[in-house]
Chain A
Amino acid sequence: MFDTALTANDFIFLAKGAGMTIFVTAISVFFGTILGIVFGVIRYQLGPFWSAPLMFVLDIFRSIPLLIQLVLTYAFLGTVLRLGMSGLTVACIVLTLYTSAYCAEIVRGGIEAVPLTLRRAARSLGMTWAQDMRSIVLPLATRVALPSWIGLALGVMKDSALVYVVQVTELLKSTQILITRLQEPLLLLMICGAFYFVISFPVARFGGYLEKRWSND
Chain B
Amino acid sequence: MERIVISGFEVISCLGLDRRQFWRRLVDGEGGLGPITRFDPGTLAANVAGEIPGFDPEPLFGKQLDLLDRFAQLALYCARHALAAAGLDGGFEPWFVPERVGVITGSGLGGVESEDRAFQQIYGQNAARLHPFSIPRMMTNAASAHISMEAGARGPCLTLSTACASATHALGEAWRYLRDGIVDLVIAGGADAPITFGVFKAWEGMRVLAPANGNPRRACRPFSADRAGMSLAEGAAIFVLERESSARRRGAPILAELAGYGASADAGHITQPNRQGPLSAMRAALATAGVRPQEVDYINAHGTGTRLNDAIEIAAIRELLGEAAAQVSISSTKSMHGHAMGASGALELAAVVQAIGHQIVPPTANFTAPDPNCDLDVTPNQSRPRLIRTALSNSFAFGGLNAVLAVRAV
| A and B from one complex | no
Which of A's residues lie within 8 Å of B, judged by CB? none
